[in-house]
Chain A
Amino acid sequence: MIDILLLIGVILPIVIGILIKVLFIPASEGISVTGAHVFFKLDLPLGGMPITEAQVNSWLVIISIFFLCLFLTRNMKTRKQTRRQIIAEWIVTKTDSLVRSNMGKAFMGFVPFIAAMLALSAFSSLLTLVGLFPPTSDLNVVAGWAIMVFILITYYKMKCGPWHYIKSFGEPVPFLAPLNVISEIATPVSMSLRHYGNILSGSVISVILASGLSLLSRKLLGGIGTFPLFRVGLPAVLSVYFDVFSGCLQAFIFAMLTMLYVSGAFAEDEYNERKKRKKAKAEAKAKAEV
């Protein structure tokens, strides 16, 4: 019984998303490539806080994933695993091994974060399959994630001390420092633009193709062409690539880059050395006090 409720919890947010779209968003006429629809705007400084389709759909995805987690981890047993338990364990072990092979053992705390990134990105992109606006084709959404990655990178670079961090910009030659700063900033920008651009271009191509095909059928078939016959088939095949494959691939690339950048930012040897030095210093101080 609870299982069914949880499953409903998984599916209901998507249904609500579709309902919201059907009820509140007017059907677009002709070809138009626009950003997310703004439901309402809160009056706040810095240009106000628009609550858009992208935000709402992200929340729906999060709620859906939350119920999915509850559903998968319900009634787990050490023996005689249920099928969903096997799925849950598969997810955990797979992400574990992914993070271990890409980041190393010191970063095992990152496993849920990487999983969250993968899930949010992939499911957001896959929302196009049910006709919803994919939050990943909104630059702000992806930029938020990229900024989080940037913060993590900086945090791990700072772990070896602020002086070490500042010094790293002067390498290999001090006058390259401006370039280093640019490359530092370019990381999140390129990450967010890559993800956002891929998903958006997929939607754009889909829209162009669909309208082009309907135009073609109208021109070639005349009166019957009011029913866009050519739109049957081909867009679906392309959708498999642009929506499913590209969505999952971009999620994977984003997570992959996150792992590589963050683990690359952390100089483990240096950190351990610094820790040792600090410890030795503290001990010397303690001795001096005695």
Chain B
Amino acid sequence: MPTLDVISINLWDILISFMNLAILYLILRKFLYKPVRNLMAQRRAEVESQYAEAEIANNNAHIIQQQWQKRLDKAEADSDMLVKMSVANADKRNEMMLAETRDKADKMIRRAQEEIEREQKKAEASMKKEIVDVSTSLTEKLIEREISPEDHRDLIDSFINDLGDEE
């Protein structure tokens, strides 16, 4: 089989090699660089979209947090007010109840006093009557004669009345 010389120049061989390099360039561009570049671009787009999504989600979370914070603040204020109101109510009711009980007690005391007075009067009346009776009977015995009880009674009544007034 013939061989080329160690240093030989053949234009056709040069052309073939030239074409080989061009062909390999096209192959690499089409089958290696294009798909890989596309893929990388796609990946970058994906990453960017995810970043954007994350940012949106972050913003949303921030807004929601603010809303909740507001609500929480409001609830705290409400509860403070409620406590104050209920304390005030309780104070008022307490006072009211106190006043009521005082009234009731006053009334009861008054009634008791009235009763006492009434009893006193009753006792006074019965004592008077007793005294009158006793004195009549005593005087009857002493003077041994009938005195009209009516006259007598008047006399003694006036006496006792004087007695009671002096006391």
Chain A residues with CB under 8 Å of chain B are 24-26, 33-39, 42, 44, 46-50, 52, 54-55, 58-59, 62, 65-66, 69-70, 72-73, 76, 78-79, 85, 88-89, 91-92, 111-113, 115-117, 119-120, 135, 138-145, 147-148, 200
Contacts and interface: CB of A to CB of B under 8 A. Distances in A.
B21 A116 contact: yes
Given A73-B36, A116-B21, A140 B1 contact: no
Contacts of A33: 6
B20 interface: yes
B148 interface: no
A112 B32 contact: yes
Given A50-B13, A144-B18, 10 more contacts: A38-B1, A44-B12, A47-B10, A73-B32, A85-B39, A88-B32, A92-B33, A112-B32, A113-B25, A143-B17
Interface in B1-60: 1-25, 27-29, 31-33, 35-37, 39-40, 42-43, 46
Contact of A54 (B13, B22, B42): B13
A66 B19 CA distance: 15
B17 A142 contact: yes
Contacts of A148: 18, 21-22
Given A35-B3, A70-B31, A145 B21 contact: yes
Chain A interface SS verdict (over half): helix
Interface of B: 1-25, 27-29, 31-33, 35-37, 39-40, 42-43, 46
B36 A55 contact: no
Chain B interface SS verdict (over half): helix
Contacts, number: 153
B27 A143 contact: no
Contacts of A111: 33
Given A38-B2, A62-B23, A78-B46, A145 B18 contact: yes
Contacts of B35: 73, 76
Nearest to B19: A144
Contacts of B10: 47-50, 140
B31 A73 contact: yes
20 contacts: A35-B5, A42-B12, A46-B12, A48-B10, A50-B10, A55-B20, A58-B16, A69-B32, A78-B46, A89-B40, A92-B32, A92-B40, A112-B28, A116-B27, A119-B24, A140-B8, A140-B10, A140-B13, A143-B9, A145-B21
B14 A140 contact: yes
A138 B27 contact: no
A139 B46 CA distance: 49
Contacts of B21: 116-117, 120, 144-145, 148
A66 B27 contact: yes
